[in-house]
Every structure is written in C-alpha cells, then in structure tokens.
Chain A
Amino acid sequence: MNYRLLPLAGLLLTALACGRPLTDPVTQPRLYPITEDTRVDESLTANAAMEATITPYREELANLLNRVVAEVATPLTKGQPESSLGNWAADLTLAAARELFPDKHVSFAVQNYGGLRVAEIGAGDLTVSQLYELMPFDNQLVLVEVNGQELLDFVDHTLSDGGWPVSEGLTAVRHDGTVTIRVEGRPVDPTATYYIAVPDYVANGGSDASMLAGRKQYASGQLVRDLLIEQAGRAPGPITVVSDGSRIKLNDR
C-alpha cells in the first residue's frame, strides 16, 4: 500500500464530502501500528496490572471450567431456520426433559434463538467453559402444558422470528405463508394437551412468546446449562450433528 497517496485521497474525499474548499480543520497524519497481537509491543507493566486483576478470578474458576465434557468431531454452527448447534442443544434439552418428567409425554423441546449465545463451537475438546458461553443465562428447564392451538401459535411465532432451535419430534414447514406443523409425525389436534420443554424465560413469555405466559408450568429446578453439560457428557463418541432442514423449512417467495 502506498501511504503517500493517502493524504491525496483524503483531500479528494474532503472535497467531495464537504463540497467546500480545503480549509477545514484536520488532524495531522499519524500512523498507529495495529498488529494482530497487541500484547507484543505493549509495556509489560500495563499488562501486568490488568492480568493481576484477572488472575485470582480466572484461577478460582479454572478447575470447573476447563473440564473436558466431550469431543466435537464436526464444528457445530448456529443458524436459521435450523442448524447443527440448534438441533444438538434442543435434542439434549429434550433428552433431559424426558428424564426429569418420566410420567409426562414430552412432545419436543425448543430453545429461543437468542438464547444460544455463540455462533459456533469448533472441533476438538468441548469444555464446561464453552457450554457456559453457549448458554450463559441461569434459565431453568420447565415443561409447559398447552393445547394444540397454543402449540401452533407458539411454533408460528418461532417461524416468524426466522426459526428457533427445535428438537426431534417437531417439524414445521412454511410455504408461501401456509404453515404445516407436525408433532411426532402427526398433525396437531387443536384441543389435545401437549407438553413441551423450554427454558423458563420462554415459558414466561420472553422473546415475545406471550402465548405461553400464564400456561401451566412444571418446574424441573434444574438450570438448562447444567442439563446440557450433563447430557453432552453422555455422548457415546465424538459429536457430529447433521442439520438437513428436515425440522424447519421456510420456503417463502
């Protein structure tokens, strides 16, 4: 890059942007080396002070957070309408809910899209720390009892929001505005009772899921994150998740 040309470009830009002669107050040109690693050329004392503040906190958490829970074979990525990371998190939530509520038939589990807080989990060791970052909120897992119509309204809302992570058991297709929802392969009966597993944040109407607020809830007393850590740790081998679009499809023109 030829830096001598830049002042000229600046002049040109000034003239174009302001439509005024070149009498504006300007800053002196100055070069700041912004390297990839800003630690290298910084004085040690500044870093030492910051590090000294952080170290006791970091050390207190190290044993807990650095524990390896499982191995990820293929990177898990977050996306809409469905994704490998979303399918994985929702399936683990469903597995946990079925264990916690053995006497209820849990149809499926849903996470709010904004509730998954990382874009990707890379291949390799999966640590407790990464699951905290995936799901930092202290939300509890709850079962919500809904009738079929409320279920349809809720799923419709998740589709309007671009598609939320859902577990096996739910398929939803929207084709030019017409929504087709099936639960465990069957059409939804608007008057039947269903149990769905969601974070309490969603069950209480968070992320504009107002159609769930006030419905009967069954508390698990367990944090969604802790359940994910537990369930992820039971993976029989390195984790690979396929997201083939068979759960949520949005075919709008």
Chain B
Amino acid sequence: MNRRFFIRRAAVGGGLLLLPGLATALPRRDRRITILHTNDWHSRIDPFPDDGTRNANQGGAVRRAALIRRIRGAEPNVLLLDSGDVFQGTAYFNFFLGELEMKLMSQMGYDACTIGNHDFDGGIENLATQLKKASFPMLNANYDLSGTPLSDLVAPYRVFDKDGIRVGVFGLGIELEGLVPSELYGSTTYQDPIARGNETALHLRQRLKCDLVICLSHLGYRYRDEKVSDVTLAAASRHIDLILGGHTHTFLDEPVEVPNAAGEPVVINQVGFAGLRLGRLDITFGGPGDRGCVSCSNLRV
C-alpha cells in the first residue's frame, strides 16, 4: 500500500471550523477514519479555575466528552487515543489515585492509551489497580514489565478494525531513570524506543497487515540535545505513519511532517496538556494505490 500522507489543512478551532475537502461530491465511496487524541491530561477533571489567567474556565472532562460525542455523531469510524500522563496534577489524583480519570476515560470511550512517566506517580501497583477499572487497554512496546504488576495488563500493541481499515496502535515510553523515583516504577526496564518502535511497526505493517500504524508516544516532541524524541523517532522509522505525542506539553497549532528513513513523511501531532485541546486527524483510504489524506484540526475544548 502507498502510505504517503500529506496534511491538508490545520486549524485551532474557535468559532466555526471547516473540514477541508472538495465541494463536489465524489462518485467513489472512500473509507475514512477519524482519530481523536489527547495527551498529558494531568487529572484536569474540572475546567481551569476562574481566576483571570490564560486558561481560566477552559478544558474539563465534561466539555471534552461533549465534543467527542458530537464528532462521533457525525463520523462513522472514530478512534480515541491518549499519549500518557493521565495522572497527577490536581487534588483528584492525590485523593482518588486515578480512579476517576479511568472511569471518565472509559465513559468517553477511549480505545487505547500509553504509559506516561507520571502515571507511575502512585506507584506501579496503583497503576495496575486503576487500569483494572478501565475499559480500554494501555499499550507500551519499550518497557520490559515482566515480573511487575503490569505484566498482564499492558500489551505492546493493539490492532483495531474500522470499516475494514486495519489500524495498528502501539506505545512508546520515556527513559524513567532520573525522571521517576525508582521505587515507583519497580523493576520496569527501559528499552531503546527506536529499536523497539521500528520492530513493532514492522510487525504491525507486514505481519498484521495494518493499513495505518500509529505510535502513541510519551517521548516528548523535540529536544535541544540528542535525547530521543518524536522527531528523532520519526526520522529513524520506516513503518510509522502517525506519532501522537506527549510529555513536552507542546501545543502544535498543526501537525508536523518529518521525513522518515525512506524519505516518506511521518505526521507528528501533540495537543499541549490538561485537556485544553482535542487533536483530530481525518484519514481517508481510497482504492489500492491511492494515498491517504490527513486533515487535521486541533480543537479547543
């Protein structure tokens, strides 16, 4: 399959948002999926307090749920994903240890998430306890979790079938040493995200015949030094189509394209933090040989 993408148009929604496309109807029925994503929610259950600061009254789980519900009402194939750091940031986490976050994400119909460094903040046992309350899987392909409470709860990847479109989703996490106290992540061991990412993406593409390969990354968008990031991962990859990132709380106004090892564009997106934005990518699949088009809108919540 030809998996070249281009970004058609991006906008931070406010007021009316127009999804791009041609005014004239096409004779052929194109299959389409809509990917919605968040990152670094950080337990922001309620909108920001009404204190006159920049984000006052914005965000909040109820508003996000309303937005997601509306898009589901209009689109046939929606995949809802999160790139980690769901936990830690408001007193809801200090007192309820992530239980409410898991319940709300289940209610919103999340399809998958990945592990952020702060998801270990209540300890690895607590993460396991809370995950059991979730109706969606947590994915990670570069932490060796064998012998930890997460070993049976976290899978490297999951394949979703949406209207015949096979979407492979996998997760990558950041180096924990020096970032998270070791007693919190226990015997979890970090493996090279580029090696494990390429291996997993290849498996999804060739063995499992995925039309679209998505990496949920908590590596961070980009660094000044050579630390591995979404940008370095994209450049070193061959079979990843989309990287939905997190960790650096980067508000991208629109997704970024980075050429992979074969010179084909990889699309990277990240939507800040705290549930202030909902990322949206619409991807169409035509007949064989047709390229998929990505149009993106990072919506204000």
Interface residues on B, range: 35 or more
- Closest residue on chain B to residue A34 by CB atoms: B13
**Is B262 interfacial (CB 8 A cutoff)?**
no
Q: Is the CB of A122 within 8 A of B56?
A: yes
Give per-residue flags for A160-193: 1 if the beta carbon is below 8 A from chain B beta carbons, else 0: 0000000000000000000000000000000000
Whole-angstrom distance between the Cβ of A7 and the nearest chain B Cβ:
4
Q: Looking across the interface, which residue of chain A has its beta carbon closest to that of B26? A: A26
**Chain A interface: which of B137-145, B165-173, B289-297?**
B289-297
Q: Which residue of A lies closest to B51 (CB)?
A: A122
A25–B25 contact, CB under 8 A? no
Nearest B residue to A125 via CB reads B51
Contacts of B13 in A (CB 8 A): 32, 34
What separation, in Å, do the CA atoms of A61 and B70 have in the docked complex?
31
Contact between B93 and A10, CB atoms less than 8 A apart = no
A28 x B25 contact (CB < 8 A):
yes
Q: Are A124 and B51 CB-contacts (below 8 A) given A10-B9, A33-B16, A61-B91? A: yes
| A61 touching B95 in the complex, CB below 8 Å, given contacts A24-B291, A123-B52 | yes
* Nearest A-chain residue to B32, judged by Cβ: A27
Check: B243 CB closer than 8 A to any chain A CB: no
A3–B93 CB distance below 8 A: no
Question: Is the CB–CB distance between A32 and B282 below 8 Å?
Answer: no
Which chain A positions have C-beta within 8 A of B94? Answer: 132, 136, 138
Chain B, 17-43, CB within 8 A of any chain A CB: 17-23, 25-26, 28, 30, 32, 42-43
Count how many chain A residues have C-beta atoms less than 8 Å from C-beta atoms of the other chain.
Answer: 67
The reply to whether A204 and B56 contact each other, CB–CB distance below 8 Å, is: no
Most buried by A among B91, B100, B285: B91
Cβ < 8 Å to B, chain A residues 1-23:
1, 3, 6-7, 9-11, 13-14, 17-18, 22
| Contact call A46/B69, Cβ cutoff below 8 A | yes
**Nearest B residue to A123, CB-CB:** B52
Query: A25-B26, A42-B69, A205-B178 in contact; A30/B107 too (CB < 8 A)?
Result: no
C-alpha gap A51/B94 in the complex (Å): 20
Q: Which residues of B contact A51 (CB under 8 A)?
A: 62
Cross-chain contact B107 with A27 (CB below 8 angstroms): no
Closest residue to A53 on the B side, CB-wise?
B103
| Chain A contacts for B65, CB-based, 8 A | 46-47, 50
In the complex, A160→B93 CA distance in Å? Answer: 31
Interface string of A106-145 (1 = CB under 8 A from B): 0000000000010111111001111011001110000000
* A247 smallest CB distance to B (angstroms): 24
Is the CB–CB distance between B107 and A18 below 8 Å? no
Instruction: Tell me, in angstroms, the Cα distance from A130 to B50 when the chains sit together.
Output: 11
Partner of A25, one of B63, B93, B96, B293: B293
Residue contact B54 to A119, C-beta cutoff 8 Å:
yes
Asked if A50 contacts B62 (CB within 8 A), the reply is: yes
Nearest B residue to A124 via CB reads B51
Q: CA separation between A42 and B19, bound complex, in Å?
A: 20
Bound Cα distance from A242 to B76, whole angstroms = 54
B8 close to A17 (CB less than 8 A):
yes
Given the complex, which residues of A lie within 8 Å of B286, measured CB to CB? 24-25
B40 to chain A, nearest CB (A): 11
Report whether B104 and A137 are in contact in the complex, using a CB–CB cutoff of 8 Å: no
Give Cα A119–Cα B49 distance, bound, in whole angstroms.
Answer: 13
Hey, what's the 0/1 contact readout for B72-104 against A, CB within 8 Å counting as 1?
Answer: 001000000000000011111111100010011
Interface flags for B129-165 (1: CB within 8 Å of A; 0: not) read: 0000000000000000000000000000000000000
Question: Per a CB cutoff under 8 Å, which of A11, A132, A204 touches B91?
Answer: A132
For this complex, 14 residue pairs linking A to B, each with C-beta atoms less than 8 Å apart, are: A9-B9, A24-B291, A24-B293, A26-B30, A31-B17, A31-B18, A34-B17, A50-B62, A51-B62, A121-B51, A129-B49, A133-B90, A136-B91, A201-B181
Having A133-B89, A136-B90, one finds 15 other A-B pairs with CB under 8 Å, namely A9-B9, A13-B9, A22-B22, A25-B286, A26-B26, A27-B21, A29-B18, A29-B23, A30-B18, A31-B19, A46-B66, A46-B69, A50-B104, A123-B52, A129-B91
**Residues of B with Cβ closer than 8 Å to A?**
6-9, 13-23, 25-26, 28, 30, 32, 42-43, 45-46, 49, 51-54, 56, 61-63, 65-67, 69-71, 74, 88-96, 100, 103-104, 107, 121, 178-179, 181, 282, 284-286, 290-293, 295, 299-301
Minimum-distance CB pairs A-B, first 6: A122-B51, A25-B286, A42-B66, A34-B13, A25-B30, A132-B91
